[in-house]
Structure 1
Amino acid sequence: MTIPALPLGTDLAMPLLGFGTWQLRGEAAYKAVRAALDVGYRHLDTATMYGNEAEVGRALADSGVPRDQVFITTKLPPERAGKERATLADSLRLLGVDAVDLWLIHWPPSRGRSLPVWRSFAALRDEGLTRAIGVSNYDISDIEELVSETGVVPAVNQIRFGPTLWDSALVEAHRSRGVVVEGYSPFKTTNLHDPVLTRIAAAHDVDAARVVLRWHVQHEIVVIPKSASPERVATNFDIAGFTLTDQEMAAVDGLAERR
């Protein structure tokens, strides 16, 4: 199964469906990532803060999937501002890779620290230790400050997202600046028992979770569901066999108006 991808520059593409690893630790993280790679995921999302980079790296090494076929994201915790090089070096060692594909500032650091951190990110990218750089949990005003002061546009902003948080103006504000929107916690922000979702799911003979994931992909919003269940990991990946109609997409969009 081929998952569509968005370009991040000329020689890098980010799969729209990835596997999230937040709250997965130890052997559970290893097994979940192995399951994800086995069913076809080629995009893994981790972070220094998650404490599972070693397990993610071991799962990748043991999977037999070539490194150049897997998009890897990790993140710098805000309290590590000023220690960018050491933090990235630790991440690369734990993951067992020479470079990550995307490195994010996990949350905006304390006031006044974003700019020096961002400059360090750009320098480490230029050294080849990460192929792209971005941010997470940033407002548009925060992104504008980075761009205006450094000229470096974040490739991605990873934010909490889902149908009930749909905001076309916010999405367009990112895209007009060349920033890809990546959504996390797609199910935590969504009532999977909502009649709109269950009706659409029944029409396509899928579950509501897959409707939510398909909705993200058709909006070209990267999404990173997480599960420790091998069955759920596989089911979440199985979204290529159906397409939501324009009317169904609009109905899911409309869930935001009912918050």
Structure 2
Amino acid sequence: MPLLGFGVYQNYTSRPSCLEAFKAGYRHIDSAQAYRNEADVGAAVRESGLDRQDLFITTKCINKTHGYESTLKGVDLSLSKFGFGMRLATYKALQECRQAGKIRSVGVSNYGIKHLEEIRNAGYEMPAVNQIELHPFCQQKPIVSYCREHSIVVQAYCPIIRGKMDDPVIQEVAAKYSRDPAQILLRWSLQKGFVPLPKSATPARIHSNTHLYDFALTDDDMAKLDALDKGKEGAVSWNPVDWD
């Protein structure tokens, strides 16, 4: 245990201070269920890029989780909030549910290559799908390539970039086909072989987002959209594919 620890009592938004503590050399964080910041501490651990094995993270059971069953549930809840250690066990449980006929298939979300390799190295069946943020600005090509190599369907969330579609290239292509930008982005996603998951609460948009099968983008226009890629920097959502 590192002898110098960093306390986060009453620090309810502790991610920035934990990140600063890691920069200062701290490798020991003292949290608790009662502090209501386990999720922030976990986020800081993942964002820091430090090896989890080099860190000593403390939490403490609150009174309401005392008792045998309550403690078991409390530990699971803390691990879930921290985001530590339960990924393979959760995946194994889902596989068993599938084998028992309770669910049809098992997929994952926001899995990077190292997370998928963790499943493969454990000897488990690979997931049916991996749902990640995908659009011209955030194409996550290494993950997509890995998924294709292992026959994992790629689902694309934020395919219409949360409405941020005013880029000149997108507008130009939309005008060429007399389509709205969302339809262009969804058509791009389909032609890339993804399964786009557009979101809208507007009835007209819900319907227009399905009008994708009576036109196709040319190779040149696909290339123009492909050229917009900014890697993970182009993400518009919480995108934890590199986290431990």
> Do the structures match in fold with TM over 0.5?
yes
Q: For 2:202 and 2:75, how far apart are their aligned partners in 1? A: 35
Aligned to 1:255, the other structure's residue is in SS state: coil
Evaluate the alpha carbon distance shift between residue 143 and residue 81 of structure 1 in structure 2; reply closer, same or farther with a 3 A threshold: farther
Pick aligned residue for 1:254 from 227, 238, 243:
227
Equivalent residue for 1:142? 115
Pick aligned residue for 1:226 from 186, 196, 199:
199
Aligned to 2:131, the other structure's residue is in SS state: strand
Equivalent residue for 2:99? 126
Q: TM-score, structure 1 length as denominator?
A: 0.56
Q: Contact 1:125/1:132 (CA < 8 Å) preserved in 2?
A: yes
Per-residue CA deviations over 1:73-118 (Å, capped at 9, x if unaligned) read xxxxxx99979xxxxxxxxxxxxxxxxxxxxxxx998322111111
Letter in 2 for 1:113: M
Deviation at 1:124, TM superposition (A): 0.5
Equivalent residue for 1:25? none
Deviation at 1:220, TM superposition (A): 0.6
Evaluate the alpha carbon distance shift between residue 181 and residue 244 of structure 1 in structure 2; reply closer, same or farther with a 3 A threshold: same
Q: For 2:113 and 2:140, how far apart are their aligned partners in 1? A: 13
Moved more, 132-141 or 167-176: 167-176
Equivalent runs, 1:45-60 vs 2, <5 Å: none
The structure where strand makes up a greater share of residues is: 1
Deviation at 1:191, TM superposition (A): 3.5
Equivalent residue for 1:55? none
Deviation at 1:203, TM superposition (A): 1.4
Aligned to 1:158, the other structure's residue is in SS state: strand
Q: Contact 2:112/2:143 (CA < 8 Å) preserved in 1?
A: no
Tell me the matched-pair count.
158
Tell me, yes or no, if structure 1 residue 156 matches structure 2 residue 129: yes
Moved more, 238-247 or 111-120: 111-120
Pick aligned residue for 1:207 from 180, 184, 189:
180
Per-residue CA deviations over 1:108-161 (Å, capped at 9, x if unaligned) read 983221111111111111112211101101111011101210321011111112
Q: For 1:81 and 1:163, how far apart are their aligned partners in 2? A: 40
List runs of 5+ in structure 2 lacking aligned partners: 1-72, 235-244
Aligned to 1:243, the other structure's residue is in SS state: coil
Deviation at 1:249, TM superposition (A): 0.5
Over the aligned positions, Cα root-mean-square deviation in angstroms equals 2.7
Q: For 1:241 and 1:211, how far apart are their aligned partners in 2? A: 12
Q: TM-score, structure 2 length as denominator?
A: 0.59
Equivalent runs, 1:22-41 vs 2, <5 Å: none
Q: For 1:81 and 1:212, how far apart are their aligned partners in 2? A: 43
Evaluate the alpha carbon distance shift between residue 149 and residue 251 of structure 1 in structure 2; reply closer, same or farther with a 3 A threshold: same
Evaluate the alpha carbon distance shift between residue 190 and residue 147 of structure 1 in structure 2; reply closer, same or farther with a 3 A threshold: farther
Q: For 1:137 and 1:119, how far apart are their aligned partners in 2? A: 17
Between the two structures, name the one with larger relative contact order (CA 8 Å, sep ≥ 6): 1
Q: Which has the larger radius of gyration?
A: 2
Tell me, yes or no, if structure 1 residue 116 matches structure 2 residue 89: yes
Q: Contact 2:127/2:152 (CA < 8 Å) preserved in 1?
A: yes
Q: For 1:81 and 1:249, how far apart are their aligned partners in 2? A: 48
Letter in 2 for 1:126: Q
